[in-house]
Amino acid sequence: MGRACLALLWLLLPLAAAAERGPALPDYPVERVADSVYVIHGPLELPNPGNQGFMNNPGFVITSRGVVVIDPGSSVQTGEMVLRAVRRHTDRPVIAVFNTHIHGDHWLGNQAVREAWPQAVIHGHPNMLALIEAGEGRAWVERIERMSDGASRGTRVVAPDHAVRHGDSFRYGDHSFRIHHYGKAHTTSDIMVEVVEASTLFLGDNVLNRRIPRLDDADVQGNIEACTRILATGARVHVPGHGPTGGPEVTRRFRTYLQTLYDTVERLYDEGLGDFEMKPQVAAALKDYADWSGFDEQLGRHIGITWLQVEAAGF
């Protein structure tokens, strides 16, 4: 191969890399949920080719100094869509990001923020950093790519670079951000972010609305406790990890789901039923949630997970 050919190959390589990238996301509507606080309420279905892997509730707060993003989504494409939304509302820089937990549908969009705003600080719980170190980030990149049939191609792991703990507080311009963590709840790595001046809570997947969560990494009683503790803040606006934003009733309704699940499984366990035998009765107890996205797929798993936790609590 001649020198000219090599040079041509060199020029074409970046094009080949670009072709490996999944397509851009369409722009989703942005809702103002409080003064200076905006949320893009993502699709409720699991990542799939139709939603290009996007399914969470990215948020952003426009402070007097710059923009703070919460959970920029499941892929570099989702993160870029969030940044376009930010740009439609302000020309201030993005100065910080908070990631609510390890599940990749919430944070793989970090890459887009890092590329556009290299100085932005990305905050996450120390357990999230440790899980990424252990390979969970890569597993999530592959999972979202598989579920979206390659739409998220080009996404890579950009981990938080600053560990935050319960009680930490950050001042960005005219807004303060308070971190809440109450032990293992949805995962071991959850943070809930209170935007104090806006009386707004970004709850991560400790609270969902109109969608049933994966509880595979959860402690059901811990999640109930997290809901109770966060309600005590008295904040007015509750932004769930998935589904519509509302007031404290969003968190109360989700807590009732978990409490009803736990209490019903515990009662039937005490009656000697196996997890597979109790499904009709648990489904009946949770009938108010039967039209929530994921109910049919997740109920069996929720009963199995809770059954094991009820059993463990008995020892």
Per CB under 5 A, which region of 3-11, 83-91, 128-136, 201-209 contacts Zn ion?
201-209
Rounded to 5°, the CA angle 133-137-140 comes to 155
Stretch that binds Zn ion, among 5-13, 14-22, 205-213, 266-274 (CB under 5 A): 205-213
Least distance (Å) from Zn ion to the CB of residue 65? Answer: 30
By CB under 5 A, which span of 28-36, 98-106, 129-137, 224-232 interacts with Zn ion?
98-106
Site size toward Zn ion, by CB under 5 A: 2
In angstroms, rounded to a whole number, what is the distance separating the alpha carbons of residues 52 and 75? 9
Please check whether residue 30 is in contact with residue 20, taking contact to mean a CB–CB distance below 8 angstroms: no
Stretch that binds Zn ion, among 39-47, 100-108, 257-265, 306-314 (CB under 5 A): 100-108
In the complex with Zn ion, the residue whose CB is nearer, 36 or 99, is 99
How far, CA to CA in Å, does 45 sit from each of 53, 55, 268, 293? 9, 7, 31, 7
Paired tokens of 207: 């609270």
Q: Which is nearer to Zn ion, 101 or 123 (CB)?
A: 101
Closer residue to Zn ion, CB minimum distance, 220 or 268: 220
Q: Is 184 in the site for Zn ion (CB under 5 A)?
A: no
Between 194 and 205, CB nearer to Zn ion: 205
Measured from the CB atom, is 107 or 262 closer to Zn ion?
A: 107
CB of 42 to Zn ion, least distance (A): 13
Q: And the tokens for 44?
A: 């409720």
Among the listed residues 145, 194, 205, 275, the single contact to Zn ion using CB under 5 A: 205
When asked if residue 71 is in the footprint of Zn ion (CB under 5 A), the reply is no
Q: Is residue 157 within 8 Å of residue 206, measured between CB atoms?
A: no
Shortest distance, CB of residue 135 to Zn ion, whole angstroms? Answer: 18
Closer to Zn ion at the Cβ: 128 or 164? 128
Cβ 60 to Zn ion, closest distance in Å? 20
For 142, the token pair is 């592959």
Neighbours of 170 (CB within 10 A): 17
Please measure the distance between the N-terminal and C-terminal CA atoms of the chain and give it in whole angstroms.
Answer: 72
Q: State the CB neighbour count (10 A cutoff) for residue 250.
A: 22
CB 306, CB 224: distance < 8 Å? no
- Candidates 30, 80, 82, 103; binder of Zn ion (CB under 5 A) is 103
Q: Which tokens in the block code for residue 27?
A: 């722009």
Q: Which residues share a beta bridge with 172?
A: 175
Q: Facing residues of 195 across strands?
A: 177, 200
Q: Which stretch binds Zn ion (CB under 5 A): 129-137, 162-170, 198-206, 272-280?
A: 198-206
Distance CA 205, CA 132 (A): 18
| 103 versus 153: smaller Cβ distance to Zn ion | 103
The residues of the shown chain that bind Zn ion, judged by CB under 5 A, are 103, 205
